[in-house]
Amino acid sequence: MRWTPGGRSRNLEDRRGSGFGRGAAGMGIGGTVILLVLSLIFGTDLTQLGGAGAGTAVESQGDVPVQESPEEARMVEFVSFVLDSAQSHWARVLPQATGQQYRDAQLVLFRNVVQSGCGTAQSAMGPFYCPLDEKLYIDLGFYDDLQRRFGAPGDFAQAYVLAHEIGHHVQHVLGIDSQVRQAQQGNPGQANQFSVLLELQADCLAGVWGHAASQGTTPILEAGDVEEGLNAAAAIGDDRLQRQAGGGVNPEGFTHGSSAQRVEWFRRGLQSGDPNACDTFGQARR
């Protein structure tokens, strides 16, 4: 990706120096899958099921500067760039496509454990969006997992993850997530299916931004970036995660969609650049 280091977004909230004692121990792929079922759609704190263990002590909140490596400082600038690029795009496009004004989300950086508007969250959950406080949360250590554990290297793979969470904010602005919660409550037997449709739509919305990033006189995307994003979408498909967890594939347990589904909908957004092409719910009714 072509991006310019040197700035931090005004929508960035840095809590890496906030302490909750010691960080939680890793939970493994299986635990991650279970916690990701939340996506914090329900505003329910289930992270305590993961338990806490020995980890790296973090500083209490105050005026003490955050200790970071040069690599981490550059990553902060990178996520700031992606955040501002994606949100500027949605501020332009959403009113035209839907008649709804976009409002910015905040991105919270944390280490190990964080208190969100949706409850206590741990790094093992991966990046997430909380609709109750309209904030995205990420422990930058997730990007190491994305490359080493999930086999999805590259800066656009990292950007895709953040753009997906911003897609959840777009859904919240449009009221889609609340409609999904009502549908899940009215039909609990199809709760997972509704969750999959919501996640696939967020993938497609991430692709819509990716399309814009590839256009213009000075496109952000470079050769190979699209493949990085598609690889990341495939790497975190429910079927692949279930296999990595050591079990068989159980489609009834999907909450985010299979690798093929995630790639399909991300590609649809990349190719169309149109948020109206991301109606996963309408497609399911056909």
Q: Tell me, yes or no, if the pTM score tops 0.75.
A: yes
Residue tagged 């496109």 (tokens): 219
User: Could you tell me if residue 248 is inside a domain?
Assistant: yes
Task: Return the closest-CA partner of residue 201 out of 107, 97, 283.
Answer: 283
- Residue 130's region, left for phi above 0, alpha for psi from -120 to 50, else beta, is beta
Residue tagged 């309408």 (tokens): 282
Task: Return the closest-CA partner of residue 207 out of 233, 237, 243.
Answer: 233
Strands 135-138 and 106-109: parallel
Q: Which of 4-13, 135-144, 166-175, 179-188 has the lowest mean pLDDT?
A: 4-13
Q: What is the pLDDT of residues 234-278, one digit of tens each?
A: 887 877 777 777 777 777 777 888 889 999 999 999 999 999 999
**Looking at residue 170, what is its pLDDT?**
98
Q: What is the pLDDT of residues 120-136, one digit of tens each?
A: 999 988 899 999 999 99
With 70 as the cut, is the pLDDT of residue 158 above it?
yes
Planar angle of CA 201, 258, 81, nearest 5 degrees: 50
Give the total number of structural domains in the chain.
Answer: 1
With 80 as the cut, is the pLDDT of residue 213 above it?
yes
Q: What is the pLDDT of residues 45-55, one digit of tens each?
A: 333 334 433 33
Segments forming the whole domain that contains residue 123: 12-280
**Looking at residue 176, what is its pLDDT?**
96
**Band of the pLDDT at 76, cuts 50, 70, 90?**
very high
**Looking at residue 59, what is its pLDDT?**
36
User: Could you tell me if residue 84 is inside a domain?
Assistant: yes
Average pLDDT rounded to a whole number, residues 98-109: 97
